[in-house]
Amino acid sequence: MQLTVLGCYGPYPPAGGACSGYLVQENRFNLLIDCGNGVMSRLQNHLEFWQLDAVILSHLHADHYSDTMIMRYGLEIAFSQGLRSKPLPLYAPPEPVSEFERLPYKNAYAVSSLTEGGEWQIGPFTIKTMAGIHAVPSLAFCIQSPSGTLVYSGDTEYCESFAEFASGADIFLCEANYQEADIRNGLPNHLSSAQAAQIAAAAGVKKLLLTHHHPERDPATSLTEAVKHFPGAELASEGAIYYVPTSHS
């Protein structure tokens, strides 16, 4: 299994950056997890957008799905050029309803709803879901294949059950939008890097990648706070490729 970080910022990117988007590939199956601002452009450095086999969205905030609104125009053209023959499967939580209803567009997507606690097979991957704690319904994904397990947190506050959900994962790709001072100040809806590291340690994961970096926070501080709890923590880097079994380049 190969994980390529296309974008790793939220709620907006810094100059030259992109919001959440992660390409997961195995046995020539191309799965895109989240598709925020800038992700479609970054995707094309690795893969033609019309070669995607499926897209799954953790939740319907713009920094995680806004580029699906742009990619649909490209998919429409891909159909007209004979580059695609079927709509692209797109999976997302069904709420907020107003956002979910915007997803279908002509023949671009075959839209399906996702719920917490579900499990389904897509290509070589078995995917399980768990609800996070966020301003809108948000799902974490456990993605398993014969090569190993990738767990992605989506956006969430601290939740003790995350350790069980991520237990033993080869890679735990976990949001770390906040720092310890933000948690002390009562900011809601996200994890600090220290909290992400605490979950990783309790789960016994092999690799922790901190993502969903806040553009107004010093990443060095986030990493320093995380390694106190999980010494091998790393900051996810745009363009970096990681593998299960774990190694990276």
User: Which residue reads 């059950």 in tokens?
Assistant: 161
Q: Which of 151, 165, 159, 171 is nearest to 134 (CA)?
A: 159
Degrees, nearest 5: CA angle 57-62-64? 35
Q: What is the pLDDT of residue 119?
A: 93
Q: Are 183 and 195 in contact (CB under 8 A)?
A: yes
Residues of the chain falling short of pLDDT 50: 248-249
Q: What is the pLDDT of residue 197?
A: 98
Task: Name the DSSP letter for residue 190.
Answer: S
Q: What is the pLDDT of residue 247?
A: 54
Q: What is the pLDDT of residue 245?
A: 83
In sequence order, the 6+-apart residues with CB closer than 8 A to the CB of 231 are none
Instruction: Indicate the pTM of the whole model.
Output: 0.96
Instruction: Please give the CATH superfamily to which domain 2-248 belongs.
Output: Ribonuclease Z/Hydroxyacylglutathione hydrolase-like (3.60.15.10)
